[in-house]
Structure 1
Amino acid sequence: MSEHLLLYASHDGQTKKIAQAIAAELSQQGLIVQCQSINENAVVNLNHYNSVLIGSPIRYGHHLPEVFDFIRQHESFLNTHTSGFFSVNLTARKPEKNRPETNPYLQKFLSKITWKPGFTGVMAGSLLYSRYRWFDRVMIQLIMKMTGGNTDASKDIEYTDWTAVRQFAQDYAQYLISSTTCCKDGVECNKPVDA
């Protein structure tokens, strides 16, 4: 039976919530999914899985460093197996920037790595002022002011569109089901598709 791995990095908890929602939907689609934080110290044996989906939030304009470290360490596996990536960022709250091809953070990320995920997605995160330290709160308010976002530090705002998250999971499940196996030594390919 095929097993699929969903790895995520999360700074304030929203990417973890999104990853868990994706895993739940994939399970509803009949797939066996292991959902785990990249931050956990557990050793991951990728050879146990038929696919890997990785998610990361943006922090001060960059995806988290542990995601880059994991990708560098496992690049060969990722490029020869069915895989995907999703980015969680506040820029995706804007309709014109909520698709993989229009989201600047995802495009910048893909240009920095040699892994070519076959399936990509973008989701809006949340603005959790109540959880931020003073410095982070002030910096994020400044970023929000510059980008036309909410600067009211008395409010936490969830921009995540949970319907879109479920749709992403359903589309990813279809991608997994339709992915083909290469004839080279039985190694599964990373078959690019339009997300």
Structure 2
Amino acid sequence: MTDPIPVPHAGGAAAADVLLLHASRFGQSIAIAEALAGRLAEAGLRGELARVQDRLNADLSGHRAVIIVASIRYGHFDPAVQALVARQAAVLRERLGVFVSVNLTARKPDKQSPETNAYTRKFLAASQQLGWQPALCEVVAGALRYPRYNWLDKRLIQLIMRMTGGETDTRREVEYTDWEQVRRLADTVAERLR
């Protein structure tokens, strides 16, 4: 994980331009957050990576943007993501807010937008009820990491993949993430912050 690179702001304290919060089950959301941070650094923006769970009650006001990268597991985001939105909605509204939904459903082209991805649509509706709508929302395909799963996860995910026409060989790892899509998102964030 990348260490935060401090940047001075009003009051003399140090904070990164962009706070990248991740909620990951098997590491792909972390990899996506790191890739975003790296691309933002190329644009001269300083990023700080942290787990969503570690920032539920933190002061987020020193950051110009907050990017939340969260993965789906069995149809649900980590409950800490919704808890963060509930606790931090007022502060999130004052910043450039970005939500990145990471899920295997997005491996299919017709499920790669916030409008066509059921998990993301549901999250955005719940967030709106809590008083926050991200300025940017991206749906990114995750990775299938069978060898890293425990026996039960392996079997359940294999069943889901069988039903949805996905990879079922439990010896394989398949990365569906479109890294160019991730770079484009970082470029859009950098443009918005200029």
Quick check: TM above 0.5? yes
Q: How much has 1:84 moved relative to structure 2? A: 1.0
Q: How much has 1:142 moved relative to structure 2? A: 0.9
Aligned match for 1:111, one of 125, 130, 151: 125
Percentage of identical aligned residues: 43
Q: How much has 1:98 moved relative to structure 2? A: 1.3
1:72 aligns with 2:89: no
Conservation of the 8 A alpha-carbon contact between 1:100 and 1:106: yes
Alignment of 1:1-195 (within 5 A): 3-40=17-54, 44-114=58-128, 115-177=132-194
Give the distance between the partners of 1:41 and 1:71, measured in 2 at CA: 11
Q: How much has 1:40 moved relative to structure 2? A: 3.7
Give the distance between the partners of 1:40 and 1:19, measured in 2 at CA: 15
Conservation of the 8 A alpha-carbon contact between 1:119 and 1:175: no
Give the distance between the partners of 1:155 and 1:121, measured in 2 at CA: 26
**Quick one: structure 1 residues 98 and 42, their matched pair in 2 at CA, closer, same or farther if it must change by over 3 Å?**
closer
How many residue pairs match? The answer is: 177
3-state secondary structure, aligned to 1:110: helix
Q: Which runs of 5+ in 2 are unaligned?
A: 1-7, 10-16
C-alpha RMSD of matched pairs (Å): 1.6
The residue type equivalent to 1:156 in the other structure is: E
Give the distance between the partners of 1:22 and 1:161, measured in 2 at CA: 12
3-state secondary structure, aligned to 2:53: coil
Q: How much has 1:66 moved relative to structure 2? A: 1.1
3-state secondary structure, aligned to 2:133: coil
The residue type equivalent to 1:75 in the other structure is: A
The residue type equivalent to 1:128 in the other structure is: R
The residue type equivalent to 2:119 in the other structure is: Y
Q: Which runs of 5+ in 1 are unaligned?
A: 178-195
Q: TM-score scaled to structure 2, two decimals?
A: 0.85
Q: How much has 1:165 moved relative to structure 2? A: 1.1
